[in-house]
Chain A
Amino acid sequence: MEKTINRRDFIKTTTATTAGVATLATGITLTTFVNANENPVTNEKRWGMLIDTNRLTETDIDGMVGACQKEHGWGSDKLSTGDQKASWIKKLKVKDTATGRISNLALMCQHCEEPPCVDVCPTNASMKREDGIVLVDKHLCIGCRYCMMACPYEARSFVHEELTDQKEHMPRGKGTVESCTMCVHKVDKGEQPACVASVNSDAVIFGDLYDSSSKINQTLKKVQSTQIRADLNLNTAVRYSGI
């Protein structure tokens, strides 16, 4: 995707770093106070993730799960039991039946480009942002759970009990559905998702799939990667290599 930097884009990128006063290369000083993202996200970007299962250790995966729980405050349900507990990201161990090779991977919402959860949601609560992040708008969610039926990855959780003391940036409540947000609140600030940040190696990379200068874009060009259930043609934003 061809891109020329214009002023809007410039503000957008700098807003991420909370620029009070910014100086353009040409020497013009921009003194507008920009505290946070003022402009809507656009489809010029598409956030994605590449998980290299060859390098990802089991400890890494546990760390990712832990980081996600800590960031969003799920996983401490007091009353829900078994499969009722929230689970935004899971650790999976997969064995190739032909070769016997075992891979470990983390599975969360794959942020599909053609998300079945969004298609089926009767109230538009399941939605995809312009930049490809799939979210549940809990203001509209009626808790019908049709999206959970439709998601091929069982990536979503239903809140089965009353919650208090939620994280400030992550409203969660009884009777609505939730899933991995790709840490949208961090991404909008120019940070990495919590799970990505928790891994010390390059086993998980996050970035703009469209930006040909981004690491994820370049790596995807070099290595062989797959989408889980690629046959469904959902064009997921989370890709895997080594399985």
Chain B
Amino acid sequence: MSIIRYEQTQGKSLGFYALVAGLGAFILAALGSVYFMEHNGHHVTGMSNRIVWGMPHVFALFLIVAASGALNIASIASVFNKKVYKPLSRLSGLVALALLAGGLMVLVLDLGRPDRLIVAMTEYNFNSIFAWNIILYNGFFVIVGVYLWMMFERRMNKYSRSVGIAAFTWRLILTTGTGSIFGFLVARQAYDAVIMAPMFVIMSFAFGLAFFILVLMASYKWTARPLGDATVNRLSNLLGVFVAAVLYFVAVYHLGNLYLAENSGVENFILLDGGIYTKLFWYGQIILGSLVPLALLYSPATKGNRSMLGLASVLIILGGLIQLYVIIIGGQAYPMELFPGKEILEGYGTIASYTPTLPELMLGLGGVAVAIIAITYLVKFLPFLPESLADDVVDPHHKK
């Protein structure tokens, strides 16, 4: 393998400034939304005492989950010693950090009292999985930060493998922790499944990689650096495997729930008669977010086509957001079983309604924008991107 040379991007082109301006506009809109929501109180949102977590949580959890998935590439390179992925490690760490920052921003700004962030950082209830998650998120920043440093500093390179393993373990725990936020809600039937946590791990693989691929292809295209098929096709195959795995876990999750009689109510709701949630599940999550991308990735007509890979990645991200929407909002909309064997005629037991408002959506998109802008700037200031990822650079034995 030849020496990989990393170099900053120039970041002086018109395109660069246009990108930054566009993202900046989104971030400003998000900040405006936050001010609006916090100043007035959450009554200006679609959230209520029944749908307590709304659109911002969909985005926040998506970004957090994707963050840990984006680290995968680096992990494959260092933990499993796959040389081809090595040049991508730095970017992988960066995308992971950026996504996590975006996700946490959304999560924090949707709190009822974001001004009390200091309380969340100083008062810990160690029984709470949420508190553990705060520690896991902070730790992720530190560990990935150190990992990047080991990769950047030549004399530290020798440690990068062990730190890489630590980071890999940490991220698995982190996603399990995020999934467990739901696993602990025993009374909510939609979340009453052990498979929730591993499903989140697999989801993170798919969402994180889709995001990574988009960042990679866009940055190489816009900076006119060579990006060979050896790299792209491998990533594309990997993405297909992950998407299929998510699909498998979703199937197991729903079949398992159907099997448990006490959860069949909520299953019917999501799968058959839940109105918007049923539609989102089948058309959004399953068809648009899983089957179409799989077809794009594997069918001979589109396989190896970069635009199609990009499209597939976008669809996977959209499908992922929809999947989290169905899990988070759909799971809350369906009422909890208060009196098994009895019917509640009045006072409780209807399907809760939720209409997301524009500020909620803008806050969520703002989180995505923060992640992208962070990547855009950091690749400009630090050498994250190899100057070339042409096939012969990445893998000299590559056969044409």
Q: How far is the CA of A96 from the CA of B344 in the complex (A)?
A: 9
Residue ID in chain A nearest B354 by CB atoms: A83
Task: Find the B residue at minimum CB distance from A58.
Answer: B346
Chain A residues positioned under 8 Å from B50 (CB to CB): 83, 154
Q: Evaluate contact between B185 and A150: CB separation under 8 angstroms.
A: yes
CB distance from A177 to the nearest CB of B (A): 7
The answer to whether A122 touches B348, judged by C-beta atoms less than 8 angstroms apart, is: no
Give the residue of B40, B134, B347 whose beta carbon is less than 8 angstroms from that of A107: B347
CB pair A91 B123 closer than 8 Å: no
Q: Are B347 and A228 in contact (CB under 8 A)?
A: no
Which one of A11-19, A26-34, A141-149, A183-191 contacts B?
A: A141-149
Residues facing B in A79-114 (CB within 8 A) are: 79-87, 90-98, 102, 107
Chain B residues with CB under 8 Å of A142's CB are 111-114, 116-117, 119-120
Least distance between A75 CB and chain B CB atoms (Å) = 13
Apart from A79-B41, A124-B123, 4 more pairs, CB < 8 Å: A82-B353, A122-B124, A123-B131, A161-B41
Known: A95-B345, A153-B338, A176-B113. A158 touches B42 (CB 8 A): yes
Name the B residues within 8 Å of A152 (CB-CB): 186-187, 336, 338
Contacting residues, chain B, for A144 (C-beta < 8 A) = 111-112, 120, 130
The 8 A-B residue pairs with the shortest CB-CB distance in the complex, in nearest-first order: A143-B112, A175-B112, A152-B187, A83-B48, A93-B346, A92-B347, A160-B43, A122-B130
Do most interface residues of chain A lie in helix, strand or loop, or is the interface mixed?
Answer: loop
A122 touches B345 (CB 8 A): no
- Taking a contact as CB atoms under 8 Å apart, the answer to whether B185 and A92 are in contact is no
Q: Closest approach, in angstroms, between the C-beta of B330 and any C-beta of chain A?
A: 14
Instruction: Out of A80, A98, A145, A175, name the residue touching B52 (CB < 8 Å).
Output: A145
Q: Determine if A94 and B342 form an interchain contact, defined as CB atoms under 8 angstroms apart.
A: yes
- Could you tell me the distance between the alpha carbons of A232 and B50 in the complex, rounded to whole angstroms? 20
Neighbouring A residues of B134 by C-beta, 8 Å: 122
Size of the A side of the interface (Cβ < 8 Å), in residues, is 60
Q: Specify which chain B residues have a CB less than 8 angstroms from the CB of A146 in the assembled complex.
A: 128, 130, 181
Q: Tell me which residues across on chain A come within 8 A of B275, comparing CB atoms.
A: none
Q: With an 8 A cutoff between CB atoms, is B53 at the interface?
A: yes
- CB-CB contacts below 8 Å: A125-165 with B: 125, 140-146, 148-154, 156-162
Decide if A176 touches B343 in the complex (CB within 8 Å).
no
Bound form: Cα–Cα A5–B186 in Å? 41
Q: Which of A82, A118, A146, A148 has the most CB of B within 10 A?
A: A146
- In the complex formed, the residue of B with least CB distance to A150 is B185
Q: Mark A167-191, 1 if CB is under 8 A from B, else 0.
A: 0000000111100000000000000
Report yes or no: B185 in contact with A149, Cβ–Cβ below 8 A: yes
Q: Say if the beta carbon of B332 comes within 8 Å of chain A.
A: yes
Whether A150 lies near B184 (C-beta < 8 A) is: yes
A102 to B346, alpha carbons, bound, how many Å? 11
Known A-B contacts A153-B338, A243-B339; the reply to A159 vs B120 at CB < 8 A is no
Q: Are B348 and A143 in contact (CB under 8 A)?
A: no
CB of B129 closer than 8 Å to a CB of A:
yes
Interchain CB contact under 8 A, B347 and A174: no
Which A residues are in CB contact (< 8 Å) with B339? 94, 228, 243
Give Cα A153–Cα B185 distance, bound, in whole angstroms: 12
> With contacts A149-B185, A149-B188, A228-B338 known, is A143 near B111, CB below 8 A?
yes
